Structure 1
Amino acid sequence: MRRLLLTLPLLFVPFVAAGQTVGGDQVSDMAWLQQQSSLKSGQPTQGSLLLQSQSSTTAAANNALLSLNPLSGGTVSSSTLLYGVTPNVTAQVGVNQRSWVTQPRIVGSEVGAIYNAGRYSLGVSVAQDQVPNTTPLPRVLPGAVTGVNGLPDFDSSTQVNARGRVALTGNSGLLLGASVGRIRLLPGNLMGLSTLDQKALSFGIDHGPISGSIIGRTMAPEPGMPNSFTTDRRWNSIDLGVTWRLPWQGSLSFGAQNLWSSGNATNTPAGPPEPDQSRTPYVQYHQDL
């Protein structure tokens, strides 16, 4: 039986080689769980510092309820500095970078604080993501557009995030998250818009090594924008994901991005004229070395 369990992850290697990765929101939940676990075992005492670093093949960030196409591939690395303000309050400053091939494409930063009262914890932060060069994000695979929230012409975003956990038992709990922000697009994009308002809500549950989450997201043009045929449009979607943290420092994740959406755009030779909301199932096995 043990040999069977050890060989199961190998069955999913072809998916990883094809560029399948977990959506940003599910990785955000995983990072939150890992951070809460580390705070329980090694929370910085009042007046002390703790540095956390992560690196993986997942094209997602752990600082916001933003989403990347699961087929986009890429790598993400992040570092977070925690400072113990009081026995229950920890301040955090983090940076992350998502890359494709060898060129950095999206750089993010986050400033916030976490209140941990044992049974429940709450974190609030302000985050920003931006593209260092003013070019559309690359197509890594045929038909797979690298972008944020289905937008290949993503330029930058600023958002306020809140994430909390309520313990039900010693090894299970409820996860709640929310994000409100604004996305800026590159000039000359096919949508003919410069900014979009975005809101997201997430609900999850964890029990031992297994955690799952469902995320609802909505985007709409900034109110009062003139001369745009999409000013009255609104794009909604729901993602679903499950992660199993394995005993040998690995994790197996599966789910679907845009499990439900308000509508799919018709692609043009230049790309999608609206946010890409195609349903995308994924499977990922990740091994920490």
Structure 2
Amino acid sequence: MRRLLLTLPLLCVPLLAAGQTLDGDQQGNPVWLQQSALAKSGQLPQGSLLVQSQNASTAGAQNNSNLSFNPLSGGTVSSSGLQYSVTPNVTAQADVTQRSWVSQPRIVGSEVGATYNTGRYSLGLSVAQDQMPNSAVVLPRVLPGAVTGVNGLADFDSSTQVNARGRFALNNNNGVLLGASMGRIRLMPGNLLGLNALDQKALSFGVEHGSVSGSIIGRTMQPEQGVGLPSSFTTDRRWNSIDLGVTWRLPWQGSLSFGAQNLWSSGNSTNTPAGPPEPDQSRTPYVQYHQDL
């Protein structure tokens, strides 16, 4: 019994690490590439299981390299993840995220993947999906604009993407982050663009320096290849955008984020005088404060 009592505190160490609230603005890093000391150093004992969770505002969602949400739309993000150490350097991960708004449908995302981590270098590959509940499909027909805008699209239905993320540690406090994503965004039937799906590609570059981190993310979308399009569309039609964000993690478990969504954007013009509606690519500067309780 005495040995069991002495062992219990040791067993709680991973849970204590998991219980720490993760910063909600880590430039595209999911739970399994955050700044948790265990996950970053690759020191999880083989066969161990690490549970992580966070609750934050949607402020961090705009820096996700897969999808872009309006940073000023409000709402909350709740996520839970599992890490299982296959070997001392390889972990498997599963993560579920829910984004909720008061007046808009929620979006549920899931991601599974694996990470190779040597301590200084890490590389993660994953497959992710985001979708709205089926009951939300009828909302655009009754309440125009009620569906959450994703990547500037008002008729977002779901998306699937393959992600690659890497980190190179310069030292204990500094690092470089790289990310890439390829996927497909599906739109609701009868959307104003007149399209069923859009192919998306994204690249991200981030830098960490102590308590300050920043990232730049570039995205491009174009109609799904090989699908018949309206006469006003061409197969090379696309929309491009660049987001920029900086986060300062404060000593009292708070964070200050500022930047701009769609700092630069472009889209091909149509051949008709009016043309179909474009995805909303208006520049959106923001300054947000988040406090972990």
- Aligned counterparts, 1:178-193, within 5 A: 178-193=180-195
Under a length normalisation based on structure 1, what TM-score does the superposition of the two structures give?
A: 0.81
Query: RCO greater where, 1 or 2, for CA within 8 Å and sep 6 or more?
Result: 1
User: For residues 31 and 92 of structure 1, do their structure 2 counterparts lie closer, same or farther at Cα, with a shift above 3 Å needed?
Assistant: closer
User: For residues 103 and 76 of structure 1, do their structure 2 counterparts lie closer, same or farther at Cα, with a shift above 3 Å needed?
Assistant: same
Q: Deviations over 1:139-163 (max 9, x none)?
A: xxxx998311111100000000111
Distance 1:34 1:162 in 2: 15
User: How far off is 1:63 after superposition?
Assistant: 6.9
For 1:84, the equivalent position in structure 2 comes to 85
Q: Deviations over 1:109-143 (max 9, x none)?
A: 00001111011111110000001121457xxxxx9
User: For residues 109 and 166 of structure 1, do their structure 2 counterparts lie closer, same or farther at Cα, with a shift above 3 Å needed?
Assistant: same
- Aligned counterparts, 1:234-253, within 5 A: 234-253=238-257
Contact 2:41 2:120 in 1 (8 A): no
Give the aligned length. 256
User: For residues 253 and 63 of structure 1, do their structure 2 counterparts lie closer, same or farther at Cα, with a shift above 3 Å needed?
Assistant: closer
User: For residues 136 and 66 of structure 1, do their structure 2 counterparts lie closer, same or farther at Cα, with a shift above 3 Å needed?
Assistant: farther
Contact 1:67 1:148 in 2 (8 A): yes
Q: Which amino acid aligns with 1:204?
A: G
Q: Which amino acid aligns with 2:289?
A: Y
User: How far off is 1:74 after superposition?
Assistant: 1.1
Under a length normalisation based on structure 2, what TM-score does the superposition of the two structures give?
A: 0.80
For 1:230, the equivalent position in structure 2 comes to 233
Distance 1:204 1:136 in 2: 37
For 2:98, the equivalent position in structure 1 comes to 97
Identify unmatched segments of 5+ residues in structure 2.
1-23, 270-275
For 1:281, the equivalent position in structure 2 comes to 285
For 2:273, the equivalent position in structure 1 comes to none
Q: Deviations over 1:48-93 (max 9, x none)?
A: 2111000111162887521101121111100001100000011001
RMSD value over aligned CA atoms?
Answer: 2.8
User: Is residue 254 of structure 1 aligned with residue 255 of structure 2?
Assistant: no
For 1:37, the equivalent position in structure 2 comes to 37
For 2:17, the equivalent position in structure 1 comes to none
Contact 1:261 1:277 in 2 (8 A): yes
User: For residues 120 and 174 of structure 1, do their structure 2 counterparts lie closer, same or farther at Cα, with a shift above 3 Å needed?
Assistant: same
Q: Which amino acid aligns with 2:201?
A: K
User: How far off is 1:170 after superposition?
Assistant: 2.3
Contact 1:63 1:127 in 2 (8 A): no
User: For residues 65 and 205 of structure 1, do their structure 2 counterparts lie closer, same or farther at Cα, with a shift above 3 Å needed?
Assistant: same
Distance 1:30 1:207 in 2: 19
For 2:52, the equivalent position in structure 1 comes to 52
Which shows bigger deviation, 197-206 or 104-113?
Answer: 104-113
User: Is residue 194 of structure 1 aligned with residue 196 of structure 2?
Assistant: yes
Percentage identity across paired residues of the two chains = 76
User: Is residue 116 of structure 1 aligned with residue 120 of structure 2?
Assistant: no
User: How far off is 1:225 after superposition?
Assistant: 1.5
Contact 1:219 1:235 in 2 (8 A): yes
Q: Of 114, 137, 154, which aligns to 1:134?
A: 137
Contact 2:223 2:238 in 1 (8 A): yes
SS of aligned partner of 1:134 = helix
User: How far off is 1:286 after superposition?
Assistant: 0.3
Q: Of 212, 215, 227, which aligns to 2:214?
A: 212
User: For residues 63 and 240 of structure 1, do their structure 2 counterparts lie closer, same or farther at Cα, with a shift above 3 Å needed?
Assistant: closer
User: How far off is 1:31 after superposition?
Assistant: 5.3
